[in-house]
């Protein structure tokens, strides 16, 4: 029912034409594409996808319908993370329904400011050359041992000295997630979708996926819904609060006397504040790039 009502709302909501990013924290489709291009440029783990032709939105380029990154590791369950709520900050003030631990606990303000200062569309990424040893070099060649000099008995392992794995319950079970970001026409913000797999590559059940979501947000901010471009039901972080949180971040930056946050940085910041919802999924590769 929720998905049906949302689809109905999208169908009657006009496409946002004029930028209201600074005023309300929302995006036009063109701004979403610009922010997506910048994210792909800075973080090549992300890429654009076209999705199914019958599900494409006409207000987005055919080859840039949504963003995706796959095989993102999730090393542990949320319940096993100690001090997960350390230094929580309530971004929304109204009735305690706001986002907690969204911006301050995951990314220090000073680090974010450094990233905002250095990340511009006109920057050129400097690739550090990799030093490869010259195969023709004779340096230290006399020090290389001849493997034929080793006796077979030196290669035999004492069976009792072999380190064997502990019981299966103590083995780290790494899950992976495919993460998608779409443009939500109704809320005029990005929307995140997640689809998980166990250590054997099998799809996770709904119950298992919710083990990797903050319990403050599970089944409230995070719900199971149909992906708008793929015929799959996925976990989705509901976008109803996204614009309010982004507006507060914009205002905080302006209050510090800094230059206005450029709109193409939107998704870089978005990925950081939604980390509170999925704190153990290691998707944030938006580290500062050396320029």
In the chain, what are the domain boundaries?
2-121+168-276
Angle, helix 266-273 to helix 29-42, in steps of 10 degrees: 80
Check 15, 108, 125, 240 and give the catalytic one.
240
Q: At a CB cut-off of 8 Å and minimum separation 6, what does 108 contact?
A: none
Give me the tens of pLDDT residue by residue for the chain, a chain 291 residues long: 665 555 666 666 789 999 999 999 999 999 999 999 999 999 999 999 999 999 999 999 999 999 999 999 999 998 887 554 544 444 554 444 455 443 333 444 445 555 555 554 444 333 333 333 444 444 444 444 454 444 444 444 444 444 444 444 555 679 999 999 999 999 999 999 999 999 999 999 999 999 999 877 767 789 999 999 999 999 999 898 899 999 998 888 888 877 788 999 999 999 988 888 899 999 876 544 333
- Known catalytic residue at 240: yes
Read off the pTM.
0.71
Dihedrals phi, psi of 102, to nearest 5 degrees:
-90, -40
């Amino acid at each position: 029912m929720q998905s049906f009502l949302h689809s109905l709302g999208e169908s009657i909501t006009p496409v946002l034409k004029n930028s209201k990013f600074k005023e309300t924290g929302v995006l036009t489709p063109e701004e979403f594409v610009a922010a997506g291009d910048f994210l792909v440029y800075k973080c090549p783990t992300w890429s654009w996808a076209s999705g199914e032709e019958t599900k494409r939105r006409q207000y987005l380029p055919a080859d840039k319908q949504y963003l995706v990154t796959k095989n993102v590791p999730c090393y542990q369950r949320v319940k096993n993370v100690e001090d997960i709520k350390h230094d929580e900050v309530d971004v929304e003030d109204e009735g305690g329904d706001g986002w907690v631990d969204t911006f301050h606990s995951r990314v220090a303000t000073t680090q974010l400011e450094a990233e905002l200062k250095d990340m511009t569309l006109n920057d050129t990424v400097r690739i550090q050359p990799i030093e490869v040893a010259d195969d023709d070099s004779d340096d230290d060649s006399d020090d290389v041992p001849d493997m034929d000099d080793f006796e077979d008995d030196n290669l035999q392992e004492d069976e009792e000295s072999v380190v064997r794995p502990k019981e299966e319950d103590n083995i780290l079970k790494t899950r992976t997630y495919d993460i998608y970001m779409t443009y939500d026409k109704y809320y005029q913000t990005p929307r995140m979708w997640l689809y998980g797999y166990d250590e054997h590559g099998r799809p996770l059940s709904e119950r298992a996926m919710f083990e990797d979501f903050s319990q403050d947000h599970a089944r409230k901010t995070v719900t199971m819904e149909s992906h708008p471009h793929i015929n799959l039901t996925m976990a989705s972080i509901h976008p109803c609060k996204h614009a309010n949180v982004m507006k507060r971040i914009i205002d905080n930056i302006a209050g510090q006397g800094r230059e206005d946050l450029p709109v193409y940085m939107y998704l870089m910041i978005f990925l950081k504040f939604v980390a509170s919802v999925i704190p153990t999924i290691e998707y944030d590769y938006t580290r500062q790039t050396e320029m």
